[in-house]
């Protein structure tokens, strides 16, 4: 099972001109993105190889840009926000980074390219994830601190995304990824 996470970042910078010392400000909430990278791939003994993270950057100066990181090909363990931001900055600069691909691709186009029946949209009013049968190679979609706008929700609805919830409490995007990774790991152990 390969799990994919798609993070829609409404403010994430699309140029490598952000400061590593001010990820929340100059990077358009690059701190949030960095924590999602860590949550997706960091495990005690290396890199989670069964995960992919696509980050749709919609901030200035030149949106949209999608950065996709594939754990199967990542050649660098990322355990801090600065390390995660360095990887993003290098990729946005056009420097080759193993396991990282940068494309001019919108959220809508990325979602439409995903296989139907495997999309799960994390939404507070969705069905509790513990009651949902998660298919093989699931794709989880989540928003940043602003969530996903109405247009993005329409795209997800048209793509047949199932709304799932982690419970009555709203969590940070990075925490959602950790919780989902745990849920999926438990499913694998039980099989």
pLDDT band at 22 (very low <50, low <70, confident <90, very high): confident
Structure pTM? Answer: 0.95
Alpha carbon distance 152, 190 (integer Å): 34
Domain of residue 67, CATH code: 3.40.1280.10
Identify the domain containing residue 97 by its residue range: 1-191
Average pLDDT, the chain: 92
Judge whether residue 1 has pLDDT over 90.
Answer: no
Q: What is the DSSP string of 77-124?
A: ---SHHHHHHHHHHHHTT---TTEEEE---HHHHHHHSPTT-EEEEEE
If one counts the domains in the chain, the total is: 1
């Amino acid at each position: 099972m390969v799990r994919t996470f798609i993070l829609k970042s409404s403010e994430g910078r699309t140029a490598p001109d952000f400061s590593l010392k001010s990820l929340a400000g100059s990077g358009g909430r690059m701190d949030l993105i960095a924590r999602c990278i860590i949550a997706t791939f960091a495990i005690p003994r290396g890199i989670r190889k069964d995960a992919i993270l696509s980050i749709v950057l919609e901030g200035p100066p030149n949106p949209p840009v999608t950065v996709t990181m594939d754990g199967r090909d990542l050649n660098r363990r990322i355990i801090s926000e600065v390390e995660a931001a360095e990887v993003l900055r290098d990729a946005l600069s056009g420097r080759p980074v193993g396991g990282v691909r940068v494309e001019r691709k919108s959220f809508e186009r990325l979602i439409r390219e995903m296989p139907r029946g495997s999309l799960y949209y994390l939404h507070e009013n969705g069905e509790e994830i513990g009651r949902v049968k998660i298919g093989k190679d699931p794709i989880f979609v989540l928003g940043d601190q602003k969530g996903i706008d109405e247009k993005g929700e329409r795209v997800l609805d048209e793509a047949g995304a199932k709304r799932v919830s982690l419970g009555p409490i709203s969590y940070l995007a990075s925490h959602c990824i950790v919780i989902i990774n745990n849920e999926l790991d438990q499913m694998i152990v039980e099989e």
